[in-house]
């Protein structure tokens, strides 16, 4: 599932783009989770609370105090988020130099057409790959539950119980061990950083020598026994500055 944001103070335009996206998703056989924001402040507030987007259609001219250029600067610089791809949208074409430092994926000129949206989605999937709708299942008593792996921030072990913490602030606990959990996860997406923690690396904003920082502001410890394996994975992925150790 792809998580898409549309940030524009023209609500009618936001819903128009949403309709184009939904139509494309039906034809392409993919799932989209679409959220429409009426201001940059609204989007940034939810981002700080743990919302993660794959792709953001971001208007440049807002009626409020924060325009789309500033939102992009905060996303990239202040919040160290490089995973969310930005597609700027504007009725003007004179923003190229201002937008360059925010590393947008594309720039669309209003009025936006259906084929413009389809082109962006096809390019995103081509470059970043088609996502699998993986879920993690667990039992509490006789009841069975499932949670999308993309929603999981980390697993935390306490005694004989394992807790799942999601980006929505939800937490569930079930009986099990971290070894059992690790065997069921994709080791390229979920890294063991401590005997008590397995983290979803797509939600990590910064790696440090003894801890990792998550996009929601939480920090998790990296124990000495797992530090070498984490370093090896970072080197293997050839991450940039935000992946280097202090």
Question: What CATH code is carried by the domain that includes residue 60?
Answer: 3.40.50.2300
| Residue 181, phi then psi, degrees to nearest 5 | -65, -45
pTM greater than 0.85: no
Among 186, 187, 229, CA closest to 207: 229
Same domain, yes or no, for 105 and 7? yes
CB 1 within 8 A of CB 32: yes
Between 213 and 61, the higher pLDDT residue: 213
Domain termination residue (choose one: 66, 93, 128): 128
> Mean of the pLDDT values across residues 230-240?
70
Please tell me whether residues 160 and 46 are part of one structural domain. no
CB 62 within 8 A of CB 11: no
Number of domains in the chain: 2
**Domain at 199, CATH number:** 2.40.50.1020
Helices (H), the chain: 11-28, 40-48, 68-73, 96-100, 114-128, 178-183, 224-237
- Domain match, 182 and 156 both: yes
Domain containing 167 equals: 138-243
Per-residue pLDDT tens over the stretch 151-208: 899 999 989 999 999 987 778 999 999 999 998 988 888 999 999 999 998 888 888 8
Pairing relationship of beta strands 211-214 and 219-221 according to DSSP bridges:
antiparallel
Whether 133 is in a domain gets the answer: no
Asked whether 124 and 85 are in contact (CB, 8 A), the reply is yes
User: Helix, strand, or coil here: 23?
Assistant: helix
CB 60 within 8 A of CB 94: no
């Amino acid at each position: 599932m792809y998580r898409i944001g549309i940030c524009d103070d023209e609500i009618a335009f936001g819903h128009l783009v949403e309709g184009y996206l939904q139509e494309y998703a039906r034809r392409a056989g993919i799932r989209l989770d679409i959220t429409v924001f009426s201001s940059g402040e609204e989007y940034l507030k939810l981002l700080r609370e743990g919302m993660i987007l794959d792709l953001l259609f971001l208007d440049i001219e807002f009626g409020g105090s924060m325009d789309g250029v500033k939102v992009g600067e905060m996303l990239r610089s202040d919040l160290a988020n490089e995973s969310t791809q930005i597609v700027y949208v504007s009725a003007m074409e004179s923003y190229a130099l201002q937008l360059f430092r925010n590393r947008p994926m594309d720039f669309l000129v209003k009025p936006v057409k259906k084929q413009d949206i389809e082109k962006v989605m096809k390019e995103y999937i081509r470059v970043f790959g088609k996502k699998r709708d993986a879920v993690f299942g667990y039992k509490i008593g006789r009841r069975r539950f499932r949670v999308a792996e993309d929603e999981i921030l980390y697993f935390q072990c306490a005694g004989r119980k394992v807790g799942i913490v999601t980006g929505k602030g939800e937490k569930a606990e079930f009986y099990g061990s971290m070894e059992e959990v690790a065997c069921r996860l994709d080791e390229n997406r979920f890294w063991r950083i401590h005997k008590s923690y397995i983290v979803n690396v797509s939600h990590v904003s910064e790696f440090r020598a003894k801890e990792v920082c998550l996009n929601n502001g939480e920090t998790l410890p990296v124990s000495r026994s797992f530090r070498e394996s984490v370093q090896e994975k970072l080197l293997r992925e050839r991450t940039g500055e935000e992946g280097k150790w202090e």
